[in-house]
Structure 1
């Protein structure tokens, strides 16, 4: 037993790790993990510390948007902690529902994500730390952005932003809030205001030299340019995002970037389109992201000349997405398919997809059941 590390010592290491993750200092958090993993292997038995470690390990993966890869028994697969015992269990109960919400948002399973967030919100009373409460408001703001419930997203984002702005050491979370505000402005067609916020975020990122944030910024700027139909500028920004080595640790961001770049390459009839799509299919299979697997396969179908088998494949893939009720994505995807069919003279089939896109648009911004 003399060779074992005291659990209190490991607990102190975990507290420092948590602070780095909480502040968004991902480079430091990643560097700390190897030492912490070794310490956990040599630690005297303590189930509370092990649960704390598992929670923080999952929390870092959430921050990196690297959730589905290399997870054994993640926190969200546990049964909800028993709240009848002590305050620690009540706090773990909050985290159980909070991280389940984030996880299902990542998978684009919005019904479950919102359900978990609603339960977590009722348990915020168990959380004493105002920064942790700000984290909740930021994450639910992200979900409402994904659902195009813009005003709710802006409301919760502002609560988070006010807290982070009051703590000067949380500059990275301040930057995240500015980027989220800008994305909501894009949905309101306030492109100039969004660009101004991105410029402000860029100056802040340059002052701290953080590549984990800069790749998110360049992706978001590319997304803005694509919405403005400045496709050449958007393509350059997406390629720039993919050029950073940090993108390899952020699966969801890489998938989004590959997808948007693939759409641009298809619209410009570039020969590079198949390469980007195949990269997207490969990554989405590696991380088991079913929605992106379908979306990339659908894009691949749009590269081929029309035949009945291809048209059946397109319809089946669209039906799979409709069954998943991801209306925000579907509104755009179905229009892409309609334009493809229209360009090949299949006007009747094209009109059907335009109608389906219109139906999807009626659900956008109305939440989930």
Structure 2
């Protein structure tokens, strides 16, 4: 068997890195298959193997972000020895991204800070833009809009000056749009979403288009434009690949919730049945809890049973670290019980929503808490129970 040099594999890994950061999913898939074969024939080199493992982690995150492929538990990697600046940087960046995915935001912030220091040793403008996009996304999720906008504008300026990074530019526009929505500038937010949609359409990327329609539906929901929201969600759910992705329940939950808000109960029940059939083959505990809560909130007649079931589902969401989902659904339940004249139950749910606004981050130890006192955020990953797609 011919032994392939580590340098040759390393060069191909650099090509794979570029495909991954461009979000060129097809090319990245092809290279992944090729590299697995090359590694079996490569001379022994631990640095290259570490580089491959880190890129593989990023690749799987991209498949989750860009194609909705479920992300399994990742293998814990050892910290690389100080021999390669890029590998060190990727190690901390990947750990930060995975911590964010797991909703361990305190750890994610600390790891991003370390990665940012390592980035200073890497003279690559696109890597800077990539990092700014990732950390801007985290601050956006945590509703630190002005900090997020600072980072994402830097990324937009860089991506605009480089060809081949249109998908990354679209993702940056989404983060900007979400931040402007957070500060109440809906018109400007809509403008950024439309720019992103224009890019997706020009690339003929139907999955990205579906993700963007889901995201713009959140804007319309926030603005109280239910008809536009429902229309956008129906467009998001029109792509077969999107329907088979892990993002399906995000959009379906949003659609059902919006239909119920305008009292379209018959249509909502139809979609409840579709989700039930889907869940028979693939369970999503967070969305199972959310769907159960919605169903009982609107269709259970017994007031005591309705309230108790809703509290049970909120407790499940809290256990699953979906603090924002628990908060938003508590507020929704409070409004619903108030409309029914059940003031005591409405008060209890409103109290729950209020408490969820505060101790959102689970600080792991006192040192972390002291270090990040200035970053006391409220979790916003799936705002108003309307998941922002991970297209960053």
The answer, yes or no, to whether TM exceeds 0.5 is: yes
Is residue 57 of structure 2 the alignment partner of residue 47 of structure 1?
no
Distance 1:38 1:249 in 2: 29
Distance 1:182 1:283 in 2: 35
What does residue 132 of structure 1 align with? 127
Is residue 160 of structure 2 the alignment partner of residue 150 of structure 1?
no
Is residue 335 of structure 2 the alignment partner of residue 339 of structure 1?
yes
The answer on whether the counterparts of 2:54 and 2:94 sit within 8 Å (CA) in structure 1 is no
What does residue 366 of structure 2 align with? none
What does residue 365 of structure 2 align with? none
Relative distance call for 1:330 and 1:73 in structure 2 (3 A) is closer
Relative distance call for 1:18 and 1:245 in structure 2 (3 A) is farther
Give 1:68-217 correspondences, 5 Å limit: 69=70, 71=72, 73-74=74-75, 77-83=76-82, 86=83, 88=84, 90-217=85-212
- SS at structure 2 position matched to 1:82: coil
The answer on whether the counterparts of 1:165 and 1:174 sit within 8 Å (CA) in structure 2 is yes
The answer on whether the counterparts of 1:148 and 1:328 sit within 8 Å (CA) in structure 2 is no
Which stretch has the larger CA shift, 23-32 or 313-322? Answer: 313-322
What are the Cα deviations for residues 60-93 of structure 1, in whole angstroms up to 9, with x where unaligned?
A: 222232698464753xx1232233xx1x2x4333
Which stretch has the larger CA shift, 315-324 or 47-56? Answer: 315-324
What are the Cα deviations for residues 290-328 of structure 1, in whole angstroms up to 9, with x where unaligned?
A: 655543443344354154455333223324545677554
What does residue 16 of structure 1 align with? 15
Relative distance call for 1:207 and 1:73 in structure 2 (3 A) is closer
Distance 2:71 2:148 in 1: 31
How far apart are 1:271 and its partner, in Å?
A: 1.3
What does residue 224 of structure 1 align with? 219
* Alignment root-mean-square deviation, CA: 3.1
How far apart are 1:146 and its partner, in Å?
A: 0.7
Distance 1:142 1:208 in 2: 23
Of 256, 259, 268 in structure 2, the residue corresponding to residue 262 of structure 1 is: 256
How far apart are 1:151 and its partner, in Å?
A: 0.7
Relative distance call for 1:112 and 1:256 in structure 2 (3 A) is farther
Larger helix proportion of the pair: 1
The answer on whether the counterparts of 1:107 and 1:291 sit within 8 Å (CA) in structure 2 is no
Structure 2 unaligned blocks of 5 or more: 361-374, 380-392
How far apart are 1:172 and its partner, in Å?
A: 1.9
- SS at structure 2 position matched to 1:272: helix
What does residue 377 of structure 2 align with? 367
Distance 2:279 2:335 in 1: 23
How far apart are 1:246 and its partner, in Å?
A: 3.8
The answer on whether the counterparts of 2:64 and 2:71 sit within 8 Å (CA) in structure 1 is no
The answer on whether the counterparts of 2:233 and 2:251 sit within 8 Å (CA) in structure 1 is yes
Distance 1:282 1:118 in 2: 42
Instruction: State the TM-score, normalizing by the size of structure 2.
Output: 0.79
What does residue 318 of structure 1 align with? 314
Relative distance call for 1:121 and 1:208 in structure 2 (3 A) is same
Which stretch has the larger CA shift, 162-171 or 241-250? Answer: 241-250
Relative distance call for 1:344 and 1:31 in structure 2 (3 A) is farther
Which stretch has the larger CA shift, 177-186 or 62-71? Answer: 62-71
Distance 1:249 1:138 in 2: 27
**Quick one: higher RCO (CA 8 Å, sep 6+), 1 or 2?**
2
What does residue 269 of structure 2 align with? 271
The answer on whether the counterparts of 2:143 and 2:378 sit within 8 Å (CA) in structure 1 is no
What does residue 369 of structure 2 align with? none
What does residue 358 of structure 1 align with? 354
Aligned residues: 358
Distance 2:221 2:255 in 1: 10
The answer on whether the counterparts of 2:297 and 2:333 sit within 8 Å (CA) in structure 1 is yes
Instruction: State the TM-score, normalizing by the size of structure 1.
Output: 0.83
How far apart are 1:332 and its partner, in Å?
A: 1.8
Structure 1 unaligned blocks of 5 or more: none
Relative distance call for 1:368 and 1:183 in structure 2 (3 A) is closer
Relative distance call for 1:230 and 1:26 in structure 2 (3 A) is same
